């Protein structure tokens, strides 16, 4: 148990006191907890441990600082040593305070989630659909580099191989923590292969990144869902099989729909469609809730507004611009091959700085 030290130390910040007190209370509860409570209490305690450990280290250094300040008042060699030590300890205290403030920034509880990604062609016709397919490939390549798995849930292609729409899931470690910054409108500027005059066209593609929820995470009553089975369809809507394996689900209170037809069995398609409907319904209610907190969103990097233009891919100038952080990235061909790390890390860093400044 971490006990609060008294006496020589300067008064501890109230927020630090509260955290240490909470940690100590959890220690007491754990010593008396029954088996069913231990896991939950232990998890809470392990989450608090890093910051409480830093607070205790800060107290220790503040104690040492005050001792050296007393010694430094003399005129002997020991006083000179104490004055040098004060410089070192002061810097250490500054670093510890910064580390503690960083640890106090609340993490996104959804960061550990797998995701469902929806990519839809926007303005630009066939060129938009082709770029939608390229974005899907970029995310699939990036996921492969991260050790994640991708799986298409449903898709609709045009006649030249582009995606009018593709919905897929990405499964892996902390997927949402990195991919959540991809939601929004992606604009591409380039000369289409079909353009004979060499004129640059501008097209758009919309990307939505939704955390994937399990049935235990979100409760949707069965009475609110209308589930129908159909035969799977291919390009142009023609039936590609005679079994009723494709599943469509409608959430009646909101009118939100989801479907899956790429799995072999009706049961598998049903599970995939249910995963999509849970994520879409959760996102819908979250968006409704966020409208009440517009001021709060100003201190965050945009991660959810599907109408927000977030990025421009300018092929003639070999430049990608992320408009949220006003930063340019070159080597566009490598980025389209899944080398997204620099862009995503820059967004994470910018988001972190904003959250820290808002504390």
Q: Are 156 and 48 within one domain? A: no
Buried residues in 3-41 as b, exposed as e (16+ CB within 10 A): eeeeeeeeebeeebeebbeebbebeeeeeeeeeeeeeeb
What is the rounded distance in angstroms from the CA atom of residue 308 to the CA atom of residue 81?
58
Say which CATH number the domain at 257 has.
3.30.70.1660
CA 270, chain centre distance (Å): 26
Residue 7 has pLDDT above 80, yes or no: no
Residue 297: inside a domain: no
pLDDT at 192: 83
CA distance 170 to 178: 12
Q: Is the pLDDT of residue 187 over 80?
A: yes
**What per-residue confidence (pLDDT) applies to 233?**
55
Interval 246-305: pLDDT, tens: 888 889 888 888 888 877 778 888 888 888 888 888 888 777 766 654 444 444 455 545
pLDDT value, residue 312: 96
Do residue 93 and residue 124 come from a single domain?
Answer: no
Domain match, 162 and 269 both? yes
Convert 339-352 to b/e letters by CB count within 10 Å (16 or more is b): bbeebbebbeebbe
Say whether both 70 and 126 belong to one domain. no
Q: Is residue 359 part of a domain?
A: no
Q: Confidence class of residue 186 from pLDDT cuts 50, 70 and 90? A: very high
43 domain-assigned? yes
Q: Are 73 and 128 contained in the same domain?
A: no
Write down which residue in 34, 68, 103 finishes a domain. Answer: 103
Considering the domain architecture, whether residues 220 and 277 belong to the same structural domain is answered as yes
Whether 5 shows a pLDDT value over 60: the answer reads: no
Residue from 142, 8, 157 nearest 70 by CA? 8
Note whether residue 333 is domain-resident. Answer: yes
Tell whether 337 and 244 lie within a shared domain.
yes
CA distance 36 to 27: 16
Q: For the chain, what is the domain count?
A: 2
Q: What is the pLDDT of residue 10?
A: 52
Query: Domain ends where: 70, 103, 136?
Result: 103
- Domain span at 225: 115-289+303-354
Identify whether 78 is part of a domain.
yes
- Let me know whether 136 and 270 are in one domain: yes
Question: Would 5 be classed as within a structural domain?
Answer: no
- 60 shares a domain with 34: yes
Who's near 181: CB < 8 A, 6+ residues apart?
A: 301, 303, 310, 344, 347, 348, 351
Q: Within this chain, do residues 88 and 155 fall inside the same structural domain, yes or no?
A: no
Q: Which of 103, 138, 156 is the last residue of a domain?
A: 103
**Do 124 and 61 reside in the same domain of the chain?**
no
Cβ proximity of 286 and 265 under 8 Å: no
Tokens representing 90?
Answer: 């002061």
> Considering the entire predicted model, what is its pTM?
0.69
Domain assignment present for residue 277? The answer is yes
Residue 4 lies in a domain: no
194 and 93 in one domain? no
């Amino acid at each position: 148990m971490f006990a609060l030290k008294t006496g020589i130390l300067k008064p501890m910040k109230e927020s630090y006191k509260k955290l240490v007190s909470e940690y100590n209370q959890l220690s007491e509860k754990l010593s008396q907890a029954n088996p069913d409570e231990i896991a939950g209490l232990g998890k809470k305690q392990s989450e608090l441990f890093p910051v409480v450990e830093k607070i205790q280290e800060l107290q220790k250094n503040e104690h040492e600082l005050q001792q050296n300040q007393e010694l430094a008042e003399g005129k002997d060699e020991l006083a000179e040593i104490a004055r040098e030590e004060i410089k070192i300890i002061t810097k250490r205290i500054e670093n510890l305070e910064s580390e503690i403030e960083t640890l106090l920034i609340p993490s996104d509880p959804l960061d550990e989630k797998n995701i469902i990604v929806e990519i839809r062609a926007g303005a630009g016709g066939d060129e938009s659909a082709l770029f939608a397919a390229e974005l899907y490939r970029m995310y699939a390549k990036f996921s492969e580099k991260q050790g994640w798995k991708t799986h298409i849930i449903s898709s609709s292609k045009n006649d030249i191989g582009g995606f009018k729409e593709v919905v897929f899931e990405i499964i892996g470690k902390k997927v949402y923590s990195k991919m959540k910054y991809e939601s929004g409108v992606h604009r591409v500027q380039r000369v289409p292969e079909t353009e004979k005059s060499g004129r640059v066209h501008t097209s758009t593609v919309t990307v939505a990144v939704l955390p994937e929820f399990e049935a235990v995470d979100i409760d949707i009553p069965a009475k609110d869902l209308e589930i129908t089975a159909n035969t799977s369809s291919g390009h142009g809507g023609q039936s590609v099989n005679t079994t009723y394996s494709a599943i469509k689900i409608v959430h009646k209170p909101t009118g939100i729909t989801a479907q899956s037809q790429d799995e072999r069995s009706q049961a598998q398609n049903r599970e995939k469609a249910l995963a999509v409907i849970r994520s879409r319904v959760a996102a819908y209610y979250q968006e409704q809730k966020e409208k009440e907190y517009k001021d709060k969103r100003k201190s965050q990097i945009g991660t959810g507004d599907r109408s927000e233009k977030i990025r421009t891919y300018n092929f003639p100038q070999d430049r990608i611009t992320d408009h949220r952080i006003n930063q340019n990235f070159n080597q566009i061909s490598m980025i389209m091959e899944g080398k997204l790390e620099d862009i995503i890390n820059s967004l994470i860093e910018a988001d972190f700085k904003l959250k820290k400044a808002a504390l």
